[in-house]
Amino acid sequence: MRSALQTSPWTYDDFTGGEIDPARWRIMSIAGADGETHQYRDRNARVRTGNGSLELTVNPFTRFHDTDPRQNNAKQMYRSVHRFAVPDAGLLTFEVDMAVRTYEQIPYNLLDAFGTVNLFDLETGVVLNAAATNDTVYAVVERLVLPGVTRPADHYLHRVVLDVPTEPGHEHGYAISYRAETSHVEFHVDGRLAYWTRLPVPVRGFTAGMALFSARDLSRYARAQREHGQGATGRWGPWRVTTDVT
């Protein structure tokens, strides 16, 4: 019988400094439909760090585009510099507290304004997000279409509302775990299992992230409907990572 070896939770960032550590985080960027590289950065962003957390406010959102979601949806997003390897046999767990307050959000609309805890893998297109608005906590499991990585037929997106009461600015403890042997994913909120699923492909490593979004369908809603003066504040930290090797 194999025994489990658990590493102590590794604090990736406890946000005690007065600025974002560039050795740990950078602004997310990706090629848009126009072939240019675009940063997920909103000119209206205000950032504060220290005392164990990163606080990001964008109110109102100003990063817009009418046809390319990559230039519209993520208003500001940070990605970890480090890519966290998944153990061949064992469990990789990310833990972070997040509090989200939205402004002028359409009530109970999951996409109008929200904050996220992100895990993603650009080698497979897999995305795992814990997301929150003023009134709803939910999980997102997605496989992106990435040139040279996935085909349009590989794409899927599930949003699952979790049984987690919340309110504006309420902090929750989020933990997302992945087991490579079974491609099994678990979402825990405040220490309770809230959702689980299995991924269609094995993942060898994840990059972590934090973001504010507005992501209503560009093809269904005019800009005046999508961007009506809403904004959000997100607060995250500290980030901890634990590896259980069997």
Which token pair is 95?
């833990």
- Alpha-carbon distances of 179 from 82, 89, 107, 127, 131, rounded to whole Å: 19, 7, 35, 15, 21
pLDDT(182) > 80 = yes
> Domains in the chain, start-ordered, CATH in brackets?
5-245 (2.60.120.200)
Which token pair is 50?
């220290």
pLDDT value of position 1? 42
pLDDT tens per residue across span 59-83: 999 999 999 999 999 999 999 999 9
pLDDT(163) > 50 = yes
Q: How far is CA 150 from the centre of its chain?
A: 20
206 φ, ψ to 5°?
Answer: -125, 150
Which token pair is 190?
């405040």
pLDDT band at 121 (very low <50, low <70, confident <90, very high): very high
pLDDT(8) > 50 = yes
pLDDT value of position 165? 98
pTM of the model: 0.94
pLDDT(11) > 90 = yes
pLDDT(197) > 90 = yes
- 218 touches 72 (CB < 8 A): yes
